[in-house]
Amino acid sequence: MATPFAPLAPGSTIGILGGGQLGRMLSQAAGRLGFDVVILDPEDNSPAGRVSRGQIVAAYDDPTALNVFGRVCDVVTFEFENVPATSMERLAEAGALVAPGPVALAVTQDRVEEKTFLNGVGAATVAFAAIDSLDDLTAALDTLGTPSVLKTRREGYDGKGQVWIKSPRQAEAAFEAIEGRPAVLEARADFARELSIIAARGRDGAVAVYPLGENRHAGGVLRTTLAPAVVDARTERRARAIARAVMEGLEYVGVIGIELFDLGNGQLLVNEIAPRVHNTGHWTQDGCVCDQFEQHIRAVAGWPLGPTAAHARVEMQNLLGEEVEQWSKLAAKADARLHLYGKTEARPGRKMAHVNRVRPL
């Protein structure tokens, strides 16, 4: 259960594990509320470190670094879900409050655990099976049919660590492609569109949910989010109920991102959940008074949650790799709100910036 907790006073220090763009935008939000921020990231001068009070340059599982980090920070949070469980333990030992907590991390780090949890709280997913051997895979392909997708249970994001299987004959090659790691086979969802919902839960158990976003991916990477998505009231209600059930089930504190398949027949399936601020929530920066980054800081600092209503319709577009060169053209457009991450090297496909195009509701 969320424990009683006096709201953290401005001037306190918030620690963020991970120094990428999510950490950077979290740090900027924390700064506006008067907090100091310290980043832990192995890359020196990380995007987040450059806008924060300080950065500890160390591996995420470095015991000494975690000890120092846990001691200088009043609360520690993270920008990615693959935080080692031992790191969480070390931070707790050093006296730092960590949010979201270990339950949320353990569940979302493992695709089988996550789907099992989701079904348990009444949130439907595609049919799936845990795969530990080629025999498991062959049997599961019989049950789930093809096409289906084989994903490693742990790690993997933006389409990495997964392979589509189009016929049972591809089973062996697919299992080799993921190097025989523990995996999950997922039936294909025959969805009409991809939606997502960004929500938050405070230390007091209060829940706040943003309007839904509609997402387009390409090559496994998010390209655009349009929000608020045009959805009927029933879908909106269902999505909000899923968000609440998931957060309560995880005893969650912070912002969560939940990806949904809209089957077009009134049914929603949860694709995956991310226990952190989420790329599909970037639209809130220019569409809401209190964006997902401030909301997350409020939640982990024990502040009351902020308002989540949209005051504008936003089309968020990721700028990947060299697309960031468009900045000078976009800077001249009155409706284009640019958010650049301060990354020096524009490697192909790397998330460099995003632009929110703002329209009246």
Concatenated DSSP letters of 271-317: EEEESS--GGGTTHHHHBSS-HHHHHHHHHTTPPPPP--BSSEEEEE
Measured CA to CA, the distance from residue 90 to residue 99 in angstroms comes to 14
**Which residues are 13's β-sheet partners?**
36
Using the rule CB under 8 A, is 186 a contact of its own copies?
Answer: no
Residue 331 binds to its own copies (criterion: CB under 8 A):
yes
Three-state secondary structure call for residue 62: coil
359: enclosing H helix or E strand? strand 351-359
Of 225, 293, 203, the closest CA to residue 3 belongs to 203
57 is an interface residue for its own copies by CB under 8 A: no
Among 201, 313, 337, 351, the residue binding its own copies under the rule CB under 8 A is 337
**Is there a contact between 61 and 87 (Cβ–Cβ < 8 Å)?**
yes
> Is 173 a residue that touches its own copies (CB under 8 A)?
no
Q: Nearest 10 degrees: CA dihedral of 99, 245, 207, 2? A: -40
344 forms part of the interface with its own copies (CB under 8 A) = yes
Q: Is 194 annotated as a binding residue?
A: yes
Segment near its own copies (CB under 8 A); pick from 87-95, 133-141, 235-243, 284-292: 284-292
Indicate the residue among 234 and 359 with the shorter CB distance to its own copies. Answer: 359
Give the shortest CB-106-to-its own copies separation in angstroms. Answer: 31
Does 60 count as an annotated binding residue? no
271 is in an annotated binding site: yes
Task: Tell me which residue of 65, 70, 75 sits closest to 33, measured CA to CA.
Answer: 75
Q: Which two tokens stand for residue 271?
A: 């694709």
Residue 54 or 147 with smaller CB distance to its own copies: 54
Q: Choose which of 341, 351, 354, 355 interacts with its own copies (CB under 8 A).
A: 341
Minimum CB separation of residue 304 from its own copies in Å reads 4
Kindly state whether residue 332 participates in binding its own copies, applying the rule CB under 8 A. yes
Q: Is 120 in the site for its own copies (CB under 8 A)?
A: no
- Say whether residue 205 binds its own copies (CB under 8 A): no
Is 162 annotated in a binding site? The answer is: yes
State which of residues 216, 234, 311, 347 lies at the interface with its own copies (CB under 8 A): 311
Out of 36, 79, 114, 259, name the contact with its own copies by CB under 8 A.
36
- When the beta carbons of 35 and 117 are compared against its own copies, the nearer one is 35
Q: What is the C-alpha separation between 214 and 201, in angstroms, rounded?
A: 22
What's the CA gap between 282 and 121, in Å, rounded?
27
Q: Which residues touch 233 (CB under 8 Å, ≥6 apart)?
A: none
Over its C-alpha atoms, the chain yields an Rg (Å, rounded) of 20
Amino acid letter for position 256: I
**Where on the chain is the footprint of its own copies (CB under 8 A)?**
7, 9-11, 24, 27-28, 31-36, 45, 50-53, 286, 289-290, 298, 303-304, 306-307, 311-312, 324, 327-328, 331-332, 334, 337-342, 344, 353, 358
Show binding-site residues for ATP.
Answer: 111, 151, 156-162, 194, 217, 271-272
